[in-house]
Amino acid sequence: MVFPDAEHRGATSYLRELAASDCSPLTIRSYAFDLLRWFRFLHERLISWERAERVDVRAFVEYLRETPNPQRLRRRPDGPLPGSVNAVTGKSELTVKYAARTINHQLSVLFGFYDHACAANLGPLVNPVPAQRTRGGGRPYAHHNPMQDFVIHKRANYRQKTPRPVWRGIPDEAATTLFAALRSHRDRALVSFYLSSGVRASELLGLCHGDLDAGRYTITVTSKGSRAREVVPASVDSFVWLALYLAEQQPPMSPGGPVWWTRRSKSAPLNYHAMRAVLRRANDALGTNWSLHDFRHTAAARLLADPAFTLVDVQTVLRHASVTTTQIYAQPRLEDLVGKVLEHYARPPTSTPTIEPSYDAAAVRELLGLPPS
């Protein structure tokens, strides 16, 4: 990292520590940008990073809570208003400010950075970022006994309240409408793979020739977290659309080369931003705001709705490290419960069971242990 005009010794040491700990390049890149945001904040206030105090961290959190996120300012002038609710999908648009999870991630990065700087004697004497500790002084959930329930600990200072995670599956009718709005066999093949396999957006876009097994209807992807090569099943329709795409466009098919290519005159491998543009065009035509990750939620919801699949089966297909993450998709959506609630109140009340007149009511109540009427 270069800041402001030379290589930052502390940041370089910390990023090398992450690289030696087998962190992915994307994680290191994310941490580097978080550090750069912190250094810029201190630089504007003429504060050296080695002498940053807790009040500076508090001011930084207040700054993030009130300052617009530059990434969110790149909206189109005719786009939806930030924070508004889409009339078709019911999903809220992203707000302009930094999200609570982004602020918490920023604090986690800064805590790890200063913890490393103090241990490596790079300048700071204390860690200015408050840490979340238990009553005994250790880390929360350290050496947790799986036979016991998790204890809810108090949030550390400056940590933001995060919303409860919910799944955002696409209803079947909306998914069919979205599929019909796609313009090419390539886009249909991509969406079909997303909806049937539940792989993440970047995992499918990184697919190469040799990762497809049309005989077993499986694909081999590099998992985002563990970076392990794992086999994931997909639907037959996905491979049909893939064959149509390969026959229509005839992209470069070198061994080990990427499967997905752009449709421009000069082809290039399809990346994440290009795929987002494909979905954005479909959303503009339908007036929706579906995201690429909604496909993964939809695939999970469809598998869980099938009685042939258990929760552990869906966890294996989605490659979740914990089954508690998969349980998020088992929660019913409020939109799906509206019809059930209306049906419940429209159903005529059932009569309560009574004692047959031919029996002695007093004897029956005494036999059942009921009080006398």
- Please determine, for residue 174, whether its predicted confidence score (pLDDT) is greater than 70: yes
Give me the count of residues in the chain.
373
**Worst-scoring range by mean pLDDT, 227-236, 260-269, 305-314?**
260-269
Nearest to 237 by CA among 293, 194, 274: 194
Selected residue with higher pLDDT from 91 and 128 = 128
Nearest to 216 by CA among 231, 203, 205: 231
Asked if residue 113 lies in contact with residue 10, where contact means CB atoms within 8 angstroms, the answer is yes
Please give the DSSP secondary-structure letter assigned to residue 208: B
The mean per-residue pLDDT over the stretch 273-282 comes to 93
Please give the DSSP secondary-structure letter assigned to residue 221: E
**Worst-scoring range by mean pLDDT, 84-98, 173-187, 297-311?**
84-98
- pLDDT tens, position by position, 333-357: 777 788 889 988 998 887 766 656 6
Nearest to 296 by CA among 167, 173, 189: 167
Query: What is the three-class DSSP state of 213?
Result: strand
DSSP letters for 8-59: -HHHHHHHHHHHHTT--HHHHHHHHHHHHHHHHHHHHTT--GGG--HHHHHH
- pLDDT tens, position by position, 36-79: 999 999 999 999 999 999 999 999 999 999 998 887 766 666 67
The mean per-residue pLDDT over the stretch 152-170 comes to 81
**Worst-scoring range by mean pLDDT, 17-21, 253-257, 272-276?**
253-257
Please give the DSSP secondary-structure letter assigned to residue 154: P
Selected residue with higher pLDDT from 359 and 84 = 84
The mean per-residue pLDDT over the stretch 1-22 comes to 91
* CA–CA separation, 364 and 369 (whole Å): 8
User: For residue 143, what pLDDT band results from cuts at 50, 70 and 90?
Assistant: low
* pLDDT of 355: 55
DSSP letters for 266-306: S--B--HHHHHHHHHHHHHHHT----HHHHHHHHHHHHHHS
User: For residue 177, what pLDDT band results from cuts at 50, 70 and 90?
Assistant: very high
* pLDDT of 230: 93
* pLDDT of 353: 65
User: For residue 318, what pLDDT band results from cuts at 50, 70 and 90?
Assistant: very high
Please report the domains of the chain, with CATH numbers, ordered by start residue.
Answer: 1-163 (1.10.150.130), 172-330 (1.10.443.10)
User: For residue 303, what pLDDT band results from cuts at 50, 70 and 90?
Assistant: very high
* pLDDT of 162: 87
Q: 41: how many CB neighbours lie within 10 A of its CB?
A: 18
* pLDDT of 361: 77
* CA–CA separation, 106 and 37 (whole Å): 9
The mean per-residue pLDDT over the stretch 214-224 comes to 92
* CA–CA separation, 344 and 337 (whole Å): 10
- Please determine, for residue 309, whether its predicted confidence score (pLDDT) is greater than 70: yes
pTM, two decimals, is 0.78
- Please determine, for residue 12, whether its predicted confidence score (pLDDT) is greater than 80: yes
The mean per-residue pLDDT over the stretch 264-288 comes to 91
* pLDDT of 85: 84
Selected residue with higher pLDDT from 329 and 50 = 50
User: For residue 271, what pLDDT band results from cuts at 50, 70 and 90?
Assistant: very high
**Worst-scoring range by mean pLDDT, 94-108, 130-144, 272-286, 351-365?**
130-144
User: For residue 201, what pLDDT band results from cuts at 50, 70 and 90?
Assistant: very high
- pLDDT tens, position by position, 230-262: 999 999 999 999 999 998 877 777 888 899 999
To the nearest whole number, what is the mean pLDDT of the chain?
Answer: 87
